[in-house]
Amino acid sequence: MHRVTLTQYLIEQQRNYGKVSPELRLLIEIIARACKAISHAVSKGPLAGVGDAVGTHNVQGEAQKKLDVIANEVLVEANEWGGHLAAMMSEEMATPYTIPHRYPKGGFLLVMDPLDGSSNLDVNISVGTIFSVLRCPEGVTEPDEKAFLQPGVKQVAAGFAVYGAATILVLTVGNGVVGFTLDREMGSFLMTQERIVIPEDTQEFAINASNARNWEPPVKRYIDECLAGKTGPRGKDFNMRWVASMVADVYRILSRGGIFMYPRDAKYNDGRLRLMYEANPMSFIVEQAGGAATNGRQRILEIQPRALHQRVGVILGSKNEVECVTRYHLQA
Ligand code: AHG
Ligand code: MN
Ligand code: MN
């Protein structure tokens, strides 16, 4: 069976819609190549000590795993020489990484979570890589933190790879959402999902219920109503899933619908997930697939970031459910 490769898809987006410049195509292909290397490293499991802690902590005080550090290095090394980037930033780096002077600089900023869900590494559950692409502001030659602080609506592309039973790359360049599966023999990403659309309704929710005592009333109300099932106010039974790897939870929602929530609560006052490299790229993808994403009160993509590693409450997925939870927040 003939399948469209990632390269072919990007060239067609460039030709037919003017969506992808050669520079952006290079950027996305380099990220895809880095994801192949990370996928290979992840698949070695305990043989390569992938889940081992390295004794260091990232800027948010989280213990770094060996593979958090490797994945970050792979992405930085792959992206610094191509001439397509002005700078990059990552969960694993406190400040932006500027392109070394020996390389040409390009017009894009890359924002990434090199390894999402890394606490799942030692138990062999799916992890992934999330990325977001912004334009470097006009006239800025030495981008600092401020250059990155753009709302999610400014993203020109976003995507994530999930290293599960299969390695899958999900991508949007602002023209719908497509999925590619890594063909390990060929070494290429082949299109397996041509147009991903999230069903508007769902009977499946994802939330870490161990935080229930800390939830705000609108979240508590929504989950209570789901749990009440057929005889409750919603009149239908709900199922629950929580992988604890956002990439895997969001991939499931893109595949069959659902709502994902990591809301702000009494413990995580600003939410647990990070705006720039988790919430924004995932919200862009989810909206492009016909879903919705809010922090309970506001569309995530419209939030003006104040800091690189800022956190945010996240409610995303099937449109009608996200609107329901958001309505509960606005009524409260
Ligand atoms: P990371 O591994 O990049 O720090 O992100 C983990 C995130 C996200 O993937 C997941 O949804 C969430 O943390 C899980 O949090 P809990 O362990 O609190 O359930
Ligand atoms: Mn993450
Ligand atoms: Mn991470």
Q: Does residue 150 have its Cβ closer than 6 Å to ligand 1?
A: no
Query: What is the spatial distance between Cα 244 and Cα 116, in angstroms, rounded to a whole number?
Result: 9
Nearest residue (CA) to ligand 1, atom 7: 117
C-alpha torsion 194→199→203→207, nearest 10:
70
* pTM score, whole prediction: 0.98
Query: What tokens were used for 325?
Result: 């939870």
Task: For domain 204-331, say whether CATH 3.40.190.80 is its number.
Answer: yes
| Residue 332: per-residue pLDDT | 83
- Of 242, 194, 222, 247, give the one whose Cα is nearest residue 42: 247
Cβ distance 141 to 124 under 8 Å? no
* C-alpha distances out from residue 28 to 159, 160, 209, 329, Å: 9, 11, 36, 37
For a pocket test of ligand 1, which of 69, 243, 246 has the largest count of ligand atoms closer than 8 A to its C-beta?
A: 246
Query: What is the spatial distance between Cα 250 and Cα 112, in angstroms, rounded to a whole number?
Result: 16
Q: Are strands 311-312 and 204-206 parallel, antiparallel or unpaired?
A: unpaired
pLDDT in tens, the chain (332 residues): 899 999 999 999 999 988 899 999 999 999 999 999 999 999 999 998 888 888 889 998 888 889 999 999 999 999 999 999 999 999 999 999 999 999 999 999 999 999 999 999 999 999 999 999 999 999 999 999 999 999 999 999 999 999 999 999 999 999 999 999 999 999 999 999 999 999 999 999 999 999 999 999 999 999 999 999 999 999 999 999 999 999 999 999 999 999 999 999 999 999 999 999 999 999 999 999 999 999 999 999 999 999 999 999 999 999 999 999 999 999 98
Q: Does residue 246 have its Cβ closer than 6 Å to ligand 1?
A: yes
* H/E segment holding residue 168: strand 167-172
| Residue 239: per-residue pLDDT | 98
For residue range 92-126, what is the model confidence (pLDDT) as tens digits?
999 999 999 999 999 999 999 999 999 999 999 99
User: Domain map of the chain by residue range?
Assistant: 6-193, 204-331
| Residue 214: per-residue pLDDT | 98
Query: What tokens were used for 299?
Result: 């569309």
Q: Does residue 275 have its Cβ closer than 6 Å to ligand 1?
A: no
| Residue 218: per-residue pLDDT | 98
Q: With both helix axes pointing from N to C terminus, report the angle between 319-331 and 217-228 in degrees, rounded to the nearest 10.
A: 130
Q: CATH number of the domain at 6-193, out of 3.40.1410.10, 3.30.2130.10, 3.30.540.10, 3.50.50.60?
A: 3.30.540.10
